[in-house]
Structure 1
Amino acid sequence: MKTIRVVFILLFCLVISANGFVSLDIVKSAGDNNNEVSKLIATANKIGYTRWVEFLLSSMPNADLVNLKADDFISYLEALDKNLKRVPWRDRINDNLFYYYILPHRVSQEPLENFTSLYADTLFSLIKNTKNMREAALKINSWAFTQMEYKPTSRWDQSAVVTINRGFGRCEEMAILTIKALRTVCIPARMVYTPWWPFTNSNHAWVEVWADGRWYALGGAELADLDNAWFSVPSKRAAIIKSIVYGRMKDGAEPIYKRDKDFTVINSTPNYTEITELFVGVRKNNQPVESTSVSINVYNYSSLRPVGLKKTDKDGFVKFIVGKTDLFVYGFKDSLWGYKVWRSSEKLQDTVIVNISKREFPDTSFWLYTRRIKKMKSKNSTYKPNRDSLKLLQHQHFCTINIVDSTLIETLTEKDKKLVRIFYNAKAKGKSFIKFYRKLSNNEKEIFIDYFNSLPPKDIVSSDTTGLLKELKAVDRSHKLIKEGIPDSVVKENLLSDRILFEHFAYWRYFIQQRYLSLKKRNIRETVDTVFLEVKNNIGENKEKGYFGPEKNPEDVCRTKTGTKVERYILIVGILRSIGIPAKIKWDYNGFLYWNSGWKEKSFDKKTEKEKEVYLSLKFDSDGRDITKKQRYYYDYGITRFGEYPDMLDVPIDTTDGRRIISLDDKPAYCITGWRNGYGDTYLRIKKVKASLDTTDVLIETGIPEKIRPGDLLVREYKGFDAKDYRIKDNELKTGNVLIIVFDTETEASKSTLTKARKTINNFPGKVFFFGFTENKQNAESFLKKIGISYSKVFIVSKEIYRTRWRMRNLPSIIYLKDGKCIFWVEGLFLHLSRLIEDFS
């Protein structure tokens, strides 16, 4: 023990002497990877990267510290240094731009990777002859377009390399790839996002790039000019827009929303829209209340979603810089709460007072109105990409990574279907997986199939064959240790899978099994108690993770001997799975569940297990019609608790027999539903619900509110639709139900809106006319086919026709006619289109 202590002291002294700054906390956070951290520091000091490494380590997330390899980091720094010395704009990059917007090795919560050293030369070759940073940024963005397309994925971030290998990603992953590519050629870039849109469901993330002395908005991997992306209009309607920066920044020209020791959040709202400085005062018995949690919230996905959260100062006030949209302002401290609906106005400054007290949250309903955007002038862009050429390159990339045709599945046996599905989801990794699979024994092949079929597709393409055989053998051992009689679905999802929550994915099972197999006892209850105490007594708890980096996986937590509360639960679940007990994280992340003739719960916050569950059964009524079978959690309704802020619960739901029976605890909760009009204004209904031992239905009123103002469903006055050029007769538009859809094949707004509503559009009880703004009919048909929309005929429309003749401003533009009368006309990103169609059809 004395020898170990001496070695550690010497190691720490080595780290300190290398640069004079690294704290003991950083070394401790690396756990048993501290030798790699020390090697990185020593090497950086030797070759002249000391300041760079100082900056990166000072804000590095624990998941990176425990997984970094010194040689990989040095190669990253060398590649960046090489490009910095050869780009023509190097003299225009000051220290602030370099350290905060070029040097950081990560953008968000994506896994650790070495993108820059892999692509430094490739990307430099694209921009070496460009005239300026602006032209270079567009070149890089075009390259990113050829590597991927937009497609929704699981909620945890994938790396830039995985996005390339997979060929698609959601908006944040598009931004991660583009930003890393821009930084690789030393163009300052950062991710910008709006946490939740106020006018439709969902949110969005994009890129800001520095050129010509200011920040420009850029749709990552989208073919549009700077400051001319599809979200230009939506961003003007946002409640708040934020930029995330690696490290703790000092005050500068931009307003700081939040400053942490490891990251900084900039309030970028003034870059996109008119703002109001909103001062919120909190009072109790007419006296100011310090340290009250104040959240500003918008309606999104069936709940009130916080887009800002701060604590009041000694005078009971807090300030937010927000856009011109209504907000639900909520204050909470020590079980006291209060709220106020803030109505936006043209004021540059406004004040709202929230009175807090201890009382029940009442059943209530109210409108939240969103900002209307007047006609915007089109920007004249000189950016004219060769779309056909870039799409051809994109197609060639997709052909390269898609080594398996998914249509083959229809002709195969069940076993072969599973195998083909694995290789299809592996994308660019498929060839190495096939080669690995062929060398396995028959028993190992069965384990391979079962293991990879238990993983989400994103984890399959993130996997590698290095260490895989060892992991498969550990999975097999876990399976052999399980008790008989456990349902196959429970085993697949909660024992075979190495995915537990949103943690850094890696092969952790062999390591954990070797370390903790001895904890297995005679029965499940005794084993769980032993594992629980082992983690509780030997793994320290960190209060919070910070913004950057993923959560740690079981091996990471074990190696660092610390973790957040959730990460400690992840370790417990990992140990239990490795020794043959199905387990998962509880729906509220405040405990874990394990299988013992049914799911049992355990938590650090509880001394005894909860033996009985209580239930909540909901029945939904819309204007006298029972619509319960149609209601989807998250999309149509949600269960929310009002604590420090409104928090939507991720609850388990039984939809057997068309009912909506929710497993909950006995604490009060609230069912929230919302109805949006044509502008995205929301009529909220909040009703208190309480779970009980029986399943008596609680009636929830939904549907169209009585007080709809004239014009709420029409973005502008409907004066008819002139489609004679397309041989569509007036009578066709004036008889029965008619849906007119005008879309842009190149924008995420059109793609997302129509993708979300494809089932409703395909089942529409009437005629549907499609008009595509694109270069040729084939593009329009391919667009609709790819997102799964059936069509009989598609027309091509020019910007001149849809803007001048049809008076449409933003695409998609959707008009619903019933016997010639316009029922609704909506435009732009509108992710609740299916609900609106169903309400009126």
Structure 2
Amino acid sequence: MFSEQSRKKIEEAYRKVKEDLGDFMEPVDQYIRSLPEAEAAAMHYLYASMPYSDVGNYPVETFLDFARHGVWLYKHNMYVRELPEELFLQYVLYHRVNEEEIRPCRSLFYQELKDQIEGKDAEKTALEVNYWCAGEVSYEAGDDRTLSALSVWQRGYGRCGEESVFSVNALRSAGIPARQVYAPYWSHCDDNHAWVEVWIDGTWHFLGACEPEPLLDLGWFEYAASRAMLVHSRRFDGRIESAGQEDADRKSEMEEVIGKDGMVVMENVLSRYADDVKKIEVTVVDEKGRPAAGISVWFEVFNYAAFRPIAQCRTDEHGKVSLSTGAGSLHLFAAGQGRYADEILDTRESRSCTLTLAKRLDCGPEIEGWRDLDLIPPHDRAPLSKRPSPEQKEKGKERLALLRNKQENKRKEWGNPEREAFLSYLETKTSQERKLGEQLLETLTAKDQTDVRCTVLLDHLEGVLPYWNTVPEDIFATALLNPRVEDEVLTEYRGWFQREISTEEQERYRKDPGRLWEKIQKEVRECPEQERSTVLTIPTACYRMRCGSGRSKRILFVAMARSFGIPARLCPEDGTVQYWKDGRFLSADPDRTKSAVLILHAENPKMWRYGLNWSITKLTEEQGDPLRLTDTGWDNGKREIHLENGIYRILTSVRLPNGTVHARECQILLSSGCRKEIALQLREEKLSEMLESLSIPEFPVRDLNGQEISSGILTEEGSHVLIWAGEGEEPTEHIFNEMLEEQERFTPWASRILLFVRSKQAWEHPLFAKVMETFPQIRVYEDDFEDHVPAVGRRLYVDHEKLPIIAVTKGRLNVIYGTSGYQVGLGDLLLRILEEETCYNR
């Protein structure tokens, strides 16, 4: 199954893993030696190329389904057998797609869909598998934890990252090489997206996960992807030196390698989606102008009011890094040697720049004045791929409607049997235990409720019983009872730690929780080069292997502390380890104390939305994420934030409809014990800068008599305001209230307002009825919101899940302003646009 050259390299990499992890790998190795030769070879490949977190998190049996099914495909599927070796290994056999939980699923998925793909060639198989996926799973937003493909299939829904993880597993189960690709962050709007690529007839093709089309290389995200500054894929074989690196065939299969995330090779596939992709070169020098080698350089775009990394590279011996990227703005940040440098690079005008490490990370001016920044996204391009015929589109639409109906029924019927088993168990217990068990379930997220296992719940219930009523109820629920720490896989750990650590040692940690953090720092090593940073090691595995990432070690501290009756958490603002003592949370890490105070001032606090129009980030050599603040904490226009000492970047921003961001930046030095005050500032934009020209697809709606009418006819003359209303929902009611407050100004324009609702039941909502009574000239149409809202929202680059969606048109299907959700002052802005002479010639 493997070439001799590959086998040698795989065995060498596997041997190094065994040596590094020592006794921990012995049971694994014994199990693999009992397998047939081909399956053992496949298992060696998986262990040689998986993150250490996978080695620790899962029993060896977990991976057998992946290895065994991959071997079966190789023996029985001619297409698989003729694949280049590395494509088979990494994109058919391999178990991991991104950062999801791993649960056996390949043989199950194959049994479910084999009749549907029998006798079909590779291209038709890929298309057919995606139709099967659409009948099993649909989109729903969720938290950042990525479910296993099996869990997504069982419950029938997931966000785009989970849909693509599920789809890739289904495709691989059918013998189609598949991978997840994603834009880590868009530069034209606040979001990202993941989809799927399949290897067919010697090249990669894309498709939307669980969003089937009659042809390959079709997807709603084509416009958005053409505006990306980077599209990623990844390979998990970073430990194994490529056997065919020199071969021309191998080189044709490779993308542009842009660096590593631990042992994962990151690849850039942007050129498949965007025009005007350019390779830029960044040179980093020290204060004396000498090349700075080994310095981290982050390439960042503006997303959710902050600079977000799309790639990280290290400078070579000449102080240089390069990256192929789109035609727009990049924020470059380089850090090392205790210093940093940053700059905005407009790749439309320049392909190179030099960063000088001149600013110190531990000192500087107390407050740098605000400076204006303009961040420009690339323009989009029309899709290049072949389009389906009207007959294909209609047939596909009918088929998809049937599949979605099947999927909706499946979803309605799903209930987590493990959760139900736990509830049944509680019925046999005392009232106190029942109350505690119900409280335990309440601490879980909506996603956790769908895949948590009964054994996990039992472990946490039994493990916390001795500490019931020892701390205030809210602290007990969130920081002691709660089994979740961060985005790790939920497992049983309380009973294990309570048995593993002596009662005397546990008591020492209860008296001084800081000693527990000292123990973890001393005994658990970090091996970032053997990990994927976003794949977390579960607490018991981290402790047993004595190995884990910085994030995994922090999770381990909280898990052990809670097991010993110590309320603990990761600070919700910056992720530092904390424990509860003397009525407050204290830092367990003496190097991460918060002795500085930043005092913010704002004239109108309600207009400031953290993560939407402002953010704060601490600048370090690791270039961490922005602080995770909320919108609470303002008192008469003032807000105090306790922070560690260091340099912080405050950003405020206005995103224009064309995707451009007008931002303001201020950097501030906070020293230990200081108090600094600063007023937030937002740039004011000219109305002309807020307008755009985007064509939206034509769609039918129904008037109140049930007569179908085209949106093209509705928008044909002059300007109109289109509102897809979430009647009864707070964001929509905000704009309705503004309309009522500005009745005199809105009345002349009421006949130009087209209001789309799901049904006539909208009049049952009092505020909606009042708006219609006040503005009887408003025209109301029915729309099911299923197809048109996503299509319009995506074309306007707004979040189609946040109603209301509002678009101002000038001429037939031509939108000059679009938004979703609600922003303070939106009603006034709509009126200003309508009242502009250039917008509507009265």
- TM interval, shorter chain, is 0.7 to 0.9
Structure 2 distance, partners of 1:839, 1:113, is 52
For the pair 1:50 / 2:40, whether they are aligned, the reply is: yes
Structure 2 distance, partners of 1:832, 1:340, is 32
Q: Note the C-alpha offset of 1:201.
A: 0.5
Q: Deviation per CA, 1:34-68, whole angstroms, max 9, x where unpaired?
A: 35412342133x34223322211112222321233
For the pair 1:449 / 2:438, whether they are aligned, the reply is: yes
The counterpart of 1:104, out of the listed 94, 100, 104, is 94
Structure 1 distance, partners of 2:347, 2:292, is 25
For the pair 1:552 / 2:555, whether they are aligned, the reply is: no
Q: Secondary structure at the match of 1:372?
A: coil
Q: Secondary structure at the match of 2:284?
A: strand
Structure 2 distance, partners of 1:722, 1:496, is 52
Deviates more, 1:379-388 or 1:361-370: 379-388
8 Å CA contact retained: 2:42, 2:71: no
8 Å CA contact retained: 2:459, 2:493: no
Q: Deviation per CA, 1:716-743, whole angstroms, max 9, x where unpaired?
A: 699xx999995999999999x9631589
8 Å CA contact retained: 2:180, 2:194: yes
8 Å CA contact retained: 2:514, 2:588: no
Partner in structure 2 of residue 748 of structure 1? none
The counterpart of 2:310, out of the listed 284, 297, 307, is 307
Partner in structure 2 of residue 714 of structure 1? 692
Q: Cα–Cα, structure 1 residues 440 and 216, in superposed 2: closer, same or farther, change >3 Å?
A: farther
For the pair 1:705 / 2:707, whether they are aligned, the reply is: no
8 Å CA contact retained: 1:87, 1:185: no
8 Å CA contact retained: 2:261, 2:532: no
For the pair 1:636 / 2:613, whether they are aligned, the reply is: yes
Q: Secondary structure at the match of 2:640?
A: strand
Partner in structure 1 of residue 633 of structure 2? 655
Structure 1 distance, partners of 2:710, 2:234, is 51
Q: Deviation per CA, 1:6-27, whole angstroms, max 9, x where unpaired?
A: xxxxxxxxxx999954656533
Letter paired with 2:83: I
Structure 2 distance, partners of 1:602, 1:429, is 36
Q: Cα–Cα, structure 1 residues 35 and 465, in superposed 2: closer, same or farther, change >3 Å?
A: farther
The counterpart of 1:76, out of the listed 61, 66, 70, is 66
Q: Deviation per CA, 1:608-665, whole angstroms, max 9, x where unpaired?
A: x84x744323233xxxxx3212322222211022333654432455525475432312
8 Å CA contact retained: 2:716, 2:812: no
Partner in structure 1 of residue 271 of structure 2? 270
Structure 2 distance, partners of 1:819, 1:265, is 43
Partner in structure 1 of residue 140 of structure 2? 151
For the pair 1:281 / 2:271, whether they are aligned, the reply is: no
8 Å CA contact retained: 1:145, 1:223: yes
Deviates more, 1:71-80 or 1:564-573: 71-80
Q: Cα–Cα, structure 1 residues 305 and 525, in superposed 2: closer, same or farther, change >3 Å?
A: same
For the pair 1:142 / 2:144, whether they are aligned, the reply is: no
Between the aligned residues of both structures, percent identity stands at 21
Q: Note the C-alpha offset of 1:108.
A: 1.0
* Structure 2: segments with no counterpart, 5+ residues: 1-6, 246-250, 740-745, 773-778, 831-842
Partner in structure 2 of residue 580 of structure 1? 565
Structure 1 distance, partners of 2:417, 2:724, is 35
Q: Cα–Cα, structure 1 residues 741 and 109, in superposed 2: closer, same or farther, change >3 Å?
A: same
Q: Deviation per CA, 1:781-829, whole angstroms, max 9, x where unpaired?
A: 99xx9xx99999435699xx99xxx9x97687976559999997246xx
Q: Cα–Cα, structure 1 residues 432 and 76, in superposed 2: closer, same or farther, change >3 Å?
A: farther
Question: Paired residues, what number?
Answer: 758
Q: Secondary structure at the match of 1:794?
A: strand
Deviates more, 1:300-309 or 1:389-398: 389-398
Deviates more, 1:237-246 or 1:165-174: 165-174
Structure 1 distance, partners of 2:330, 2:438, is 49
Q: Note the C-alpha offset of 1:231.
A: 0.9
Matches within 5 A, 1:212-611: 212-224=201-213, 225-248=215-238, 250=242, 251=245, 252-253=251-252, 254-259=255-260, 262-274=263-275, 275-283=277-285, 284-345=287-348, 350-358=351-359, 360=365, 363-373=370-380, 375-376=382-383, 379-381=386-388, 384=393, 386-403=396-413, 427=416, 429=418, 431-466=420-455, 468-479=457-468, 482=470, 484=471, 486=472, 488-516=473-501, 518-519=503-504, 526-543=511-528, 546-547=531-532, 550-587=535-572, 591-604=576-589, 606=591, 610=593
Q: Note the C-alpha offset of 1:467.
A: 5.7
Q: Secondary structure at the match of 2:468?
A: helix
Q: Note the C-alpha offset of 1:191.
A: 0.9
8 Å CA contact retained: 2:341, 2:356: yes
* Structure 1: segments with no counterpart, 5+ residues: 1-15, 405-425, 621-625, 744-750
8 Å CA contact retained: 1:337, 1:357: yes
Partner in structure 1 of residue 194 of structure 2? 205
8 Å CA contact retained: 1:641, 1:670: yes
Matches within 5 A, 1:754-773: 765=739, 769=754
Q: Cα–Cα, structure 1 residues 431 and 550, in superposed 2: closer, same or farther, change >3 Å?
A: same
Q: Note the C-alpha offset of 1:309.
A: 1.8
Q: Secondary structure at the match of 2:466?
A: helix
Structure 2 distance, partners of 1:645, 1:26, is 27
Q: Cα–Cα, structure 1 residues 19 and 234, in superposed 2: closer, same or farther, change >3 Å?
A: closer
Q: Secondary structure at the match of 2:99?
A: coil
8 Å CA contact retained: 1:80, 1:120: no
Q: Deviation per CA, 1:246-277, whole angstroms, max 9, x where unpaired?
A: 21274523211125773211110111112101
8 Å CA contact retained: 1:781, 1:794: no
Q: Secondary structure at the match of 1:304?
A: strand
Structure 1 distance, partners of 2:533, 2:674, is 44
Q: Cα–Cα, structure 1 residues 386 and 340, in superposed 2: closer, same or farther, change >3 Å?
A: closer
Letter paired with 1:714: E
8 Å CA contact retained: 2:371, 2:666: yes
Partner in structure 1 of residue 84 of structure 2? 94
Structure 2 distance, partners of 1:525, 1:448, is 24
Q: What is the root-mean-square deviation of aligned Cα atoms in Å?
A: 4.4
Q: Cα–Cα, structure 1 residues 674 and 401, in superposed 2: closer, same or farther, change >3 Å?
A: same
Q: Cα–Cα, structure 1 residues 96 and 835, in superposed 2: closer, same or farther, change >3 Å?
A: farther
Deviates more, 1:685-694 or 1:35-44: 685-694
8 Å CA contact retained: 1:108, 1:547: no
Partner in structure 2 of residue 679 of structure 1? 658
Q: Cα–Cα, structure 1 residues 154 and 758, in superposed 2: closer, same or farther, change >3 Å?
A: farther
Structure 2 distance, partners of 1:576, 1:645, is 27
For the pair 1:182 / 2:171, whether they are aligned, the reply is: yes
Q: Deviation per CA, 1:145-164, whole angstroms, max 9, x where unpaired?
A: 22222222111211111112
Q: Cα–Cα, structure 1 residues 759 and 676, in superposed 2: closer, same or farther, change >3 Å?
A: farther
8 Å CA contact retained: 2:574, 2:627: no
Letter paired with 2:146: D
Q: Note the C-alpha offset of 1:316.
A: 2.3
